[in-house]
Structure 1
Amino acid sequence: MTVTPQPLTAGQRGLLVLLCFDALLLGLLELFFLPLRLDGIVLPKLGDAPMPVTVVLAVLTTPLLVRTTAKVIRPSFSVIPLLVWVLVVLGMGMTGPGGDLVLVQDWRALLLIGGGALPGALVLGGGLGTAAKAGKGVKDG
């Protein structure tokens, strides 16, 4: 027996667009504020050390976007905000406005990409696995 998924309602499509727009904005915000330093201009002056506070934002918000999409829309669509975030960070980071390289070329870039993509991918896999288990009626035992 094959189960055909129901098409998305207009409200679900609107929420998916809103979540993708949120992923786009978060990706841009995290990318542009990644080079913050403790130099006394934006953050307090404490030795001019790099302070990638947007990595914490990425670690918290990317899995939240994936989980929200899985709950509100459908688990199979929860990959879309994660892909939007990754494409924005990599695309805008490598070919920024005017062809500038926005993504800093050091450990902070790896931390941002890993800190946003890895937790999001873990939540995505967990959600898809739970949905598949619930759909097939597989029981642990």
Structure 2
Amino acid sequence: MSVSTRGLLLLLLCVEAAVLAVLETFFLLVRLDGTLLPRLGDLPFPVTIAVAVVTTPLLVQWAADLSGRVVVAAAPLLVWFFTIFALGYLEPGGIGKFLLGDWRTLLLIAGGALTGAVAVGAVMARNAANRPGLYDPAGIQ
């Protein structure tokens, strides 16, 4: 695969991460109140947290397949993270109320960012395993 094709695919993965962040944020506050979903006692239904937990590491792994560099693998995670915070900062209700005002928002950020960071760590471990002479631990002979 050529360099320009890899760059285009990485750009598409980053756009997908941004679109997922927007959709996960917009549908985060969905409730079982009878308007969009069935009426079941007005319970919160934060299914987008599960979407973030599943899709963010997938995007990181797909980016890692394009290149062995950690920066390339982490690009979709960084785009997702900064999109969530840009939406939280530029919200019409006031600065920071969305980001810190609800437990679902904190779970969304934690679920997406932590699983994505674990996936980036797996890429780093795979890179270290593929270069055994470069990352030898000190003191082992």
TM-score, with length taken from structure 2: 0.85
SS of the residue corresponding to residue 114 of structure 1 reads helix
Number of the residue aligned with 1:53: 47
Q: Counterparts of 1:55 and 1:87 in 2: how far apart (Å)?
A: 17
1:112 aligns with 2:108: yes
Structure 1 outlier segments of 4+, above 4 Å: 97-104
Q: Counterparts of 2:93 and 2:102 in 1: how far apart (Å)?
A: 21
Shift of the alpha carbon at 1:102? 4.9
1:28 aligns with 2:22: yes
Q: For 1:125, which of 121, 130, 133 is the aligned residue?
A: 121
Number of the residue aligned with 2:91: 96
Q: Say what the alpha-carbon RMSD is for the aligned residues.
A: 2.3
TM-score, with length taken from structure 1: 0.85
Number of the residue aligned with 1:5: none
- Specify every segment of 5 or more residues in structure 2 that has no aligned partner in the other structure, as ranges: 137-141
Greater mean deviation of Cα atoms: 73-82 or 61-70: 73-82
How many matched pairs? 133
Aligned sequence identity (%): 45
Q: Could you tell me which amino acid in structure 2 is paired with residue 87 of structure 1?
A: F
- Specify every segment of 5 or more residues in structure 1 that has no aligned partner in the other structure, as ranges: 1-7
Q: Counterparts of 1:135 and 1:75 in 2: how far apart (Å)?
A: 13
Shift of the alpha carbon at 1:71? 1.1
CA contact (8 A) 1:95 1:102 kept: no
